[in-house]
Amino acid sequence: MNRSGNIYNVGVNAKDTWRHLGAFETAAAITGEKAVFNAVIVIKLSPLPGENQLLRAMSAMQRRHPFLRCNISRRRGRRVFVPLNRAIPLYNREINNDTDWIPVAESELNTPFRDPELPLVRLVRLSHREKEAGELILTFHHAIMDAPSAISLVNELLSKNPEHVAATSLPPPAPEKGFPRRFLAPWGKITSLPFLFRSMAEELPGALSIRKKKASPRNNKAWIHTATLPEAVSRELSRACRRRGISLNSLAGAAMLRTLHAGNGPSGKKRRRHISFADLRPRLSPPRETDSLCCSISMLRLTLSLNEDTSIWDTAVRLQARIERALSRGDLFSSVLWSPFMMRALFMGTGSRMADSALSLSGPVDVPESSGNVRLLDLHAFVSNFSRGPEFTAQARMFRGRLYWDMVFLESDMNRRDADTLAGDFTKMLKNAIKEDHAGSG
């Protein structure tokens, strides 16, 4: 059953347009036009809420969050957010096995938003034939939401009284409106020119070092692979990072690079590029609340020369040093301001890819274990990869004491078996980092 496209009143008055897209929102929109740029959240609940209950919850969230009731259009050559008076599409499907949600999630990752009359979000309700538990698969265009927004939505879905929320008529302003003074318009991009020149200088050697392979076709498909480290292993890995003064984000990024390097790179030194993401909300003026639903992230592209003889901890130290240096220069803000230009250049190029790997790691996920009689059993998140995207991407989070790794690979880069092998090598490298830490401290 499909409950999409029904006209319904969200309870607020909307104008014909809201505002122009911000810089990173524009970059995400460009990516979505050239390929697919979706984020997918998989929520396993027991018992699975009924259709009417979900419709009420989604209606309440649409009243509160303007980006859940909009699309993107062009007015006078610029992209703008256009308000809609349409319900979030809800699709019902019945499945047989606990893993049947995986091909559905892959399909959602690979299916673009093309209907201008519908919101940039949709929901699939997966019920099991013989179980009360089931999955909700929430898909949204990355131009309107990011990982912190998704966690906020999960909390609202589990709210006991989702209907009792205040209505909001207009979306939040673009993140760059709250940047530090030297990055504000009209001089922000001029201030950020050194960042652009550094990025361009790194582009050629970075592109040459990225895997020698024909660029992925635009109509590629994504494989997903999930891995969860046991609570004891996750705790020990976190302790090892604290002992060494290394962030888990840096260690995981180093593990991704070294896994790729060991798998398909020649021995000796080789330049590899990694993308690390950060939430801009606490860095804005004034800071934004974590439940502000929008796309308020930035990315850092970092280049390292790897050597197979070095320790993973050495790689993590060097990666963290580059992250800290980039943060001190304000590259988080510069990256946002120049992101539309860089994405256009990327898609105009012939064969270059953004990076070898990309990681978005969230801290402990603060969501309730239950709401009334509904229990949250599992939580996964994935982001579409695309024609010029990295070879190895992952969304990661600490959830109930365990580290979750939700990885995406491209069919054009490898088959599912190779993807599973690469994911296994990555988690093995993280476990070996614990052994290496124990040996070093012993």
Please indicate, yes or no, whether residues 188 and 157 belong to a single structural domain of this protein: no
Mean pLDDT of 74-78: 88
265 and 131 in one domain?
no
Say if residue 320 is in the same domain as residue 287. Answer: yes
Contacts of 165 (CB under 8 A, 6+ apart): 60, 61, 63, 64, 156
* pLDDT grade for 350, boundaries at 50, 70 and 90: low
In this predicted structure, what is the pLDDT of residue 268?
47
Q: List phi, psi (to 5°) of 360.
A: -120, 110
Average pLDDT of the segment spanning 415-422: 91
Which of the four pLDDT bands, split at 50, 70 and 90, describes residue 181? very high
Domain CATH number, residue 69: 3.30.559.10
Residue with tokens 């995406």: 408
Which of 124, 151, 168 is a domain's end point?
A: 168
pLDDT tens digits for range 117-148? 999 999 999 999 888 999 999 999 999 999 88
Helical pair 416-441 and 312-329, crossing angle rounded to 10 deg: 100
Kindly state the average pLDDT of the residues 209-225.
62
Domain boundary among 168, 199, 215: 168
Same domain, 115 and 209: no
Q: Does residue 299 lie in a domain region?
A: yes
* pLDDT band, residue 161 (cuts 50/70/90): low
Domain end (from 146, 168, 190): 168
Q: Is 189 found in the same domain as 49? A: no
Q: Would you say residue 221 lies in a domain?
A: yes
**Does residue 8 sit within a domain?**
no
Q: Flag the least confident range among 39-43, 102-106, 388-392, 393-397.
A: 388-392
Inside any domain, residue 14: no
The answer, yes or no, to whether residue 244 has pLDDT greater than 90, is: yes
Q: What predicted TM-score, i.e. pTM, was given to this entire model?
A: 0.90
125 part of a folded domain: yes
pLDDT of residue 413: 87
220 pLDDT above the threshold of 50: yes
Tally the domains of the chain: 2
Nearest residue to 122 (alpha-carbon basis) of 148, 145, 94, 99 = 145
The span from the CA of 330 to the CA of 328, in Å, is 5
Structural domain that includes position 96: 23-168
238 and 190 together in one domain: yes
DSSP string, 309-363: TS-HHHHHHHHHHHHHHHHHHTHHHHHHHHHHHHHHHHHHSSS--S-SEEEEEEE
Q: Do 163 and 193 have their domain in common?
A: no
Comparing 82-91, 168-177, 256-265, which segment has the lowest mean pLDDT? 256-265
Q: Provide the CATH number for the domain around residue 410.
A: 3.30.559.30
12 located within any domain: no
Do 95 and 211 fall within a single domain? no
Q: What is the distance between the alpha carbons of residues 38 and 120, in angstroms, rounded to a whole number?
A: 9
Whether the CB-CB separation of 227 and 407 falls below 8 Å is answered with yes
Specify if 15 maps to a domain. Answer: no
Q: Do 284 and 311 belong together in one domain?
A: yes
CB 272 within 8 A of CB 134: no
Task: Judge whether 11 lies within some domain.
Answer: no
**Region 148-173: what's the mean pLDDT?**
77
3-class DSSP state of 254: helix
**159 and 292 assigned to the same domain:** no
What share of the chain has pLDDT > 90, as a percent? 63
Task: Flag whether pLDDT at 264 surpasses 80.
Answer: no
Query: Tens of pLDDT along 9-36?
Result: 444 444 477 899 999 999 999 999 988 9
Q: Do residue 229 and residue 120 come from a single domain?
A: no
Instruction: Give per-residue pLDDT as tens, 266-283.
Output: 554 578 899 999 999 999
Tell me, yes or no, whether 313 and 425 share the same domain.
yes
